Amino acid sequence: MNSIIDHLRSHRSFRKFQTDRVIPKEQLDAIIRATQSAPSWINGQQYSIIAVQNPERKQKMAELCGNQPYIAESSVFLVFVADFYRTHLASETHGGSLTAVENVDALLVGATDVGLACENAIIAAESFDLGVVCIGGIRRNMADVIDFLQLPKYVFPVVGLCIGYPDVEMPIKPRFPKEAVYFEETYQTDVTDAMAVYDETIIPFSAREGGISWTKRVSAFYDKDYYPSIAETLKQQGFLMKDKN
């Protein structure tokens, strides 16, 4: 293997940070610039990043995301937003209609661009021996986050990223057997054996979730609608308008 592959395969999430250490501005700038090198559809770059570093504001973000203390403890909390505001300005400049943003595909484009950018940020941060953890809870109170961050129309939060100096070492969580996620030519539905193997493998690494198997955990998680207000909030931000009735 090479050093880049080794780097990628050493990823793990950290939820405990040293609160007395701050990431140097030069490193944060390098992380952001590396993030900007991520690919995006039609080079639209339909994302933006909001850095939250003020302690009081990080604490508020921690509360809005479901009382996750590692947000407040991190050196910087990056909020990745799907962003069609710049596209809106471009459309106004050239007399466009921005019709495509009304379709659900715009959400897929924005979320994909965010995901690619966020992964670049993760890789860059880890290259400085910093720890990271992604925060999907940024969507828990989406309307409140939009207000708190003063997001304009055509912008919505997708994921947050805590970055800081790890306070405790964390193990690398095993992933699915390759056979469960990699197929050649066509999709393969016979993955139950691989899932069963993974259930046994992951239990020792799932103490935070109660030491349960992967299948039991995801079954329980997707048994209810966690964020039922998101669709209405997205409509208020200018999305899904073709579905407004």
Q: CB neighbours of 225 closer than 8 A, spacing ≥ 6? A: none
Residue 66 token pair: 């479901």
Q: Considering the domain 3-172, what is its CATH architecture?
A: 3-Layer(aba) Sandwich (3.40)
pLDDT tier at 243, thresholds 50, 70, 90: low
Which residue(s) pair with 166 in the sheet? 17
Phi, psi (5° rounding) for residue 164? -175, -175
pLDDT (0 to 100) of residue 178: 94
CA-closest candidate to residue 77, choices 172, 144, 129, 149: 149
Predicted confidence (pLDDT) per residue in 66-80, tens digit: 999 999 999 999 999
pLDDT tier at 242, thresholds 50, 70, 90: confident
Domain locations in the chain as residue ranges:
3-172, 174-240
pLDDT (0 to 100) of residue 54: 98
